[in-house]
Amino acid sequence: MSQAMIRVQAVTKSYRRGGETLVVLDKLNLQMEEGRFYALMGPSGSGKTTLLNLIGGLDQPDAGELYVSGENLSDLSKGELANWRAANVGFVFQGFNLIPVLSAFENVELPLKLTPLSRKERREHAEHALKLVGLEDRMHHRPKQLSGGQEQRVAIARAVASDPKVILADEPTGDLDRKSAEQVLELLVRLNREFKKTILMVTHDPHAAAHAQSIVHLDKGQLGSIVDNQPMALGPK
C-alpha cells in the first residue's frame, strides 16, 4: 500500500457569520494515499472547499493537525507555508483564476519564478507544460482571448509547471461545457496516471467524480464515506 500523502487528524474549522459560529469541519479524520485521484463530494456547505483550502495551506484549522507530503502544516509560519505551497501544491480553481494581464505563457511561468531555475529553463518548463495541455500554439494569448476550456487547461499547466506532488482542483469543470469539461477531466486523469500526481478534486458532478479512483463524501463537516471507484476509461483524443 502507498504511504499517506495527506493526513487530516481531528481537524476543526469554523467561521463566524452574523454573530453565529458555523462549524464547517468537525474533528475530521481523513487519509489519502500518494499517487491517487480523489473526488471530494458532498452537499453545499459540507466543508469540501474549506478542506481543500486547508490541505493546500491557504487557510489554517482551528484545531487538529494536517500533514501533507510529510509536513505538518500547523508547524509552518506564513512565509514557510507560502514556500511550501510553491514547492508542493498546484491549484486549479472553478473560475480558472488566471492573471488577466499576463499571457498564457506568462501565467504558467509564474510559479517557476519562485524556483531557482534560469530564465531559459523557466521558458522550457512553461512551454512543456503548455504542450502537455495542448495549448502550445496559444501561449501568447491573454486569458480573455481563450475559451473557458482553454483557460482551465492553462490553469492546469500552471498547476503542474513546477512539478508539485499534489494537485488540488476546486470544481474544475463547474464553469465549462460538457466537451471542455471532458478534456479537463482527461487531463487530470493523465496527470495522475502518467505523472503520478496525487489529485484531490472537489466536485458536485457524479460524472466528473467517476474519473477518480476514490470518492470521498463529506457531510456536515464530517467524513461520510470513502468509496473506491473503477475510473472511467479515457475517451478518444
Partner 1 sequence: MASMKLVWRNLMRHPLRSVLTILSLTVAIFLICGLRTLITTLNAGVANADNRRLAVMSSTGLFVELPMKYQAQIDRLDAVEQTTKFQWFGGYYRSPKNFFAQFAIDPATLFSMYPECQVPPEQQQTFLKNRVSCIVGKGLAADYGWKVGDTVPIIGALHPHPENKAWEFYVAGVYRSDAPNFDNRTLFFHWDYYEKTLESGGVTPGVGVFSIRVKPGTDVPQVIADVENLFKDSEQLVSCETEAEFQRQFVTMFGNIPLFVGWIGGGVVLAILLACVNTMLMSMREQTTDIGILKSIGFSDRSMFGLLIAQSLFLCTLGGALGLLLARGTQPMVSNWFAATFPGYAITNGTYLFASAVTLGLGIAAGVMPAMQARRLRCVDALRGMD
Which residue's CB is nearer to partner 1, number 79 or number 116? Answer: 79
33 vs 163, beta carbon nearer partner 1:
163
DSSP per-residue letters across 79-112: HHHHHHHHHHEEEE-TT----TTS-HHHHHHGGG
Question: What does the angle CA 211 – CA 71 – CA 37 come to, to the nearest 5 degrees?
Answer: 5
158: enclosing H helix or E strand: helix 148-161
Report the nearest approach of partner 1 to the CB of residue 136 (Å).
21
* Side-chain-side CA neighbours of residue 91 (13 Å): 20
What's the distance, Cα to Cα, between the start and end of the chain in Å? 32
For residue 237, the minimal CB distance to partner 1 (Å) is: 29
Residue ranges that bind partner 1, judged by CB under 8 A: 53, 56, 58-59, 78-79, 82-87, 91, 93, 97-102, 106, 110-111, 113-114, 158
d(CA 91, CA 200): 10
Nearer to partner 1, 123 or 193 (CB): 123
d(C-alpha 207, C-alpha 216), whole Å: 14
Nearer to partner 1 among residue 152 and residue 214 (C-beta):
152
Task: Please state the closest distance from residue 114 (CB atom) to partner 1, in A.
Answer: 5
CA–CA separation, 88 and 20 (whole Å): 35
Q: Which is nearer to partner 1, 126 or 189 (CB)?
A: 126
Shortest Cβ 68–partner 1 spacing (Å):
14
Minimum CB separation from partner 1 for residue 140, in Å? 13
